[in-house]
Amino acid sequence: MIELKNVNKTYLMGQVEVKALDGVSLKIAAGEFVAIMGASGSGKSTLMHILGLLDRPDSGSYYLGDKEISKLTDEKLAILRNKIVGFIFQQFHLLPRMTALENAELPLIYAGKRNLKEKARQEIEKVGLKERMFHRPNEMSGGQQQRVAIARALVNDPVIIFADEPTGNLDSKSKAEIIAILEKLNQEGKTIVVVTHEQEVASHARRIIQMRDGKIISDESVGNVLGLAPAVTLGENFADTILSQPHKVSGQTKFLDYLRQAGFAMVSHKLRSFLSILGILIGVAAVIAMLSLGQGAKESIEKQLVSLGSNLLMIRPGSEKSHGVSLETGAVTRFTFQDVTAFTKLTDYVAKVCPSVTGRGQLVYANKNWNTEVEGSSVDYEEVRAAVPTIGRFFSAQEVKMREKVALLGRTVVKELFGDSNPVGQSIKINLINFKVIGILPEKGGNSFHDQDDTVVIPITTAMYRVFGKQYIDSIFVEVISPDLLDEAQDVLSKTIIKQHRLSKDNEDSFQIRNMADLKKTLEATTKTMSLLLGAIAAISLLVGGIGIMNIMLVSVTERTREIGLRKAIGANNKDIMVQFLIESVLMSLIGGLSGVLLGWGIATLINVFAGWTVVVSLTSVILATVFSLVVGLIFGVWPARKASQLDPIEALRYE
């Protein structure tokens, strides 16, 4: 079954080379019960590790059947370990967070036989632990733990069992039980190789190999083989046969098992896992809250821009400079209704024209008074400035023509003068002139500089000739047919004003045309920059959480080094180990991310309720934060996972 030819193995301990095996040649036939003995440091454990495919010789050949396997890849060696080898260790190497049955099931995961869970139950019953199969290792004696390890070694029905000091940590009664189990397995046809320093254990073997200083000094057969069952063999080419068989494990099955293992690992280290999750949770919550603030600010600005109207150009009189000194606004260019008529005729570009005059007015109702901005405008104000009344109506063209004393009030004015009562139909005084309230303007909000709801709108003719005594228009709003025509319309309007007022070259800058679309773009760009800045600041905290996960996972790799060695010994390859640790990292990130979304949502709601700021939690920000948390978990989990996957199984099993 096994043949070694001139095998050498040297370890480097510090700067000293230790020759563990020195030209060892050995044959083991199917069905043998071999005991390898020797003093500590004789090389017996190194020999077993090479025989069990856990280590590679520095030189020499290793044949399984007729196949030389010492140069096989780690993945192929893992397949052979999983399918033909069973290990029993002196330290048991049971996973403390799993029950006896779950420990016995582990090799099935890597063999793709998770559906054969009943086999693990049968093996547990065979070693006499039927009543203890749902107990964890810390609830069992040493002998019971070793029997669980034997059940784990047998669950994949291996042809050869390697036992490294299987009775070294046991009392005499447990020792006898384990020896009896090994003898029974050999009688059933299993090949048994035991490494021991106890003559009592070796006496039950049928072949004893003595080692000293890395060499075999004696090899003798003892006892007889009468009454043994036929040896379990696989043929001369069994290694090639096994490696040529498909070794595909359902991705879904493996994923569910890895997910389960990750959950066990997290639960067994609750505080550590909580701190890792907390870092991601805070980061995601910060991202959600910050992006919500940014989105809320953006919508507030957009709402205020909408309140100004769309596709607007605002025309205002400028000022002339005489000998370097600026004169008063409107000293050269003063707008009248003739300009409004001229602009209205530009039908290829202009949809509506809305003239405006403004001033301050003292409002009085009953025993209350309020000083506010009074704006006079035309009937087009309703549509151009998005001012459709929420209650009542807007004034008509006839009322503008007749200079009627009617008014529409902003929300702030209504609150100050009328409280919660409806003002429509009531009479108020504006600068001692009686006006009838005919409507309430829509709420437009405000900022720290200007309250757009603190206003009164009246017919422009009434404002000019009855209230303020003005002969000229303060500004004209022009709604352009399409946003694409804003620049052309601005140029045409400019030429019209120059022609209408016969302005010379020196006075062509005596008026201003402001493009509201440019203002909108500027504000939107500013808001976007602010949102990105807030998101970037929050993302930093998420990265810090990711670094925390990486640190915890690195600690986890160190703490679970022996577990990693065990998993490799029972058939896990590098990819299996890496994927398992990655899933654990991503799982913590996902839990932290989802919890962070809920926390961020709650924070945003509290900001809205208590601070009064507009916050908008968008689906995009939730998806972005969640995906980002998963990516962080994946990226920061790669290094620890790769480090775990690259561990040598022997060094990992020996790790203290």
pLDDT in tens, 247-259: 555 555 667 777 7
pLDDT bucket at 227, cuts 50 / 70 / 90: very low
378 or 187, which is more confident: 378
Residue 226 has pLDDT above 50, yes or no: no
User: What is the Cα–Cα distance from 79 to 83, expressed in whole angstroms?
Assistant: 6
pLDDT at residue number 302: 64
Please name which of 257, 285, 281 lies closest in space to residue 584, comparing C-alpha atoms.
257
Where does the pLDDT of residue 238 fall: very low under 50, low under 70, confident under 90, or very high at 90 and above? low
3-state SS of 60-74 is: EEEEECCEECCCCCH
Q: Which of 253-262, 325-334, 417-426, 510-519 has the lowest mean pLDDT?
A: 325-334
**Residues whose CB falls within 8 Å of the CB of residue 533, separated by 6 or more in sequence, listed in order:** none
What is d(CA 165, CA 146) in angstroms, rounded to the nearest whole number? 11
Evaluate whether 93 touches 152 at the Cβ level (below 8 Å): no
Mean of the pLDDT values across residues 453-470? 94
DSSP letter for each residue of 171-231: -HHHHHHHHHHHHHHHHTT-EEEEE-S-HHHHTTSSEEEEEETTEEEEEEE-S--TTPPPP
pLDDT at 349 over 80: yes
Query: What are the phi and psi torsion angles at 162 (to 5°)?
Result: -110, 125
- In tens, the pLDDT along 602-642 reads 888 887 777 667 777 777 778 877 787 778 778 878 888 88
pLDDT at 19 over 70: yes
Contact 426, 418 (CB under 8 A): yes
Segment among 126-135, 289-298, 460-469, 571-580 with least mean pLDDT: 289-298
Q: Residue 160: name the closest of 43, 27, 29 by CA.
A: 29
Asked if 359 and 368 touch (Cβ cutoff 8 Å), the reply is no
Q: Cα 48 from chain centroid?
A: 45
Angle at 643 between CA 638 and CA 53, to 5 degrees: 130
Token digits of residue 199: 């003559």
HSE toward the beta carbon, residue 604, CA cutoff 13 A = 27
| 234: CB partners within 8 A, 6+ apart | 65, 84, 159, 241, 242
Per-residue pLDDT averaged across 312-323, rounded? 70
Per-residue pLDDT tens over the stretch 270-281: 887 887 788 778
Tokens describing residue 3? 């043949």
**pLDDT number for residue 358:** 94
Of 75, 53, 54, the residue nearest 1 (C-alpha): 53
Q: Which two tokens stand for residue 82?
A: 């999983």
- At residue 401, the pLDDT reads 94
Residue 428 has pLDDT above 90, yes or no: yes
Choice among 21-30, 515-524, 593-602 with the minimum mean pLDDT: 515-524
Cα-to-chain-centroid distance, residue 120: 37
- The rounded distance, in Å, linking the Cα atoms of 33 and 14 is 37
Residue 573 is classified by DSSP as -
Output the pLDDT for position 307. 56
Place of tokens 């639960």: 267
Residue 413 confidence (pLDDT): 94
Q: What is the largest CA-CA distance in the chain?
A: 130
> What's the residue count for the chain?
656
Q: Helix 100-111 crosses helix 561-569 at what angle (to 10 degrees)? A: 60
Would you place residue 379 in the very low, low, confident or very high pLDDT band (cuts 50, 70, 90)?
very high
Give the SS3 label for residue 308. Answer: helix
The helix/strand/coil state of 134 is coil
CATH of the domain spanning 2-248, picked from 3.40.50.10860, 3.40.50.2300, 3.40.50.300, 1.10.606.20: 3.40.50.300
Quote the DSSP letter at residue 507.
Answer: G
User: Mean pLDDT: which of 234-238, 449-453, 510-514 is highest?
Assistant: 510-514
End-to-end Cα spacing for the chain: 34
| Contact status, residue 383 vs residue 500, Cβ threshold 8 Å | no
Domain ranges of the chain: 2-248, 261-302+522-654, 334-502
At position 187, the amino acid (one-letter code) is Q
Selection from 12-26, 241-255, 390-404 with the highest mean pLDDT: 390-404
Rounded Cα–Cα distance for residues 258 and 252 (Å):
10
Task: Name the residue with higher pLDDT: 305 or 259.
Answer: 259
> CA angle 265-266-271, nearest 5°?
125
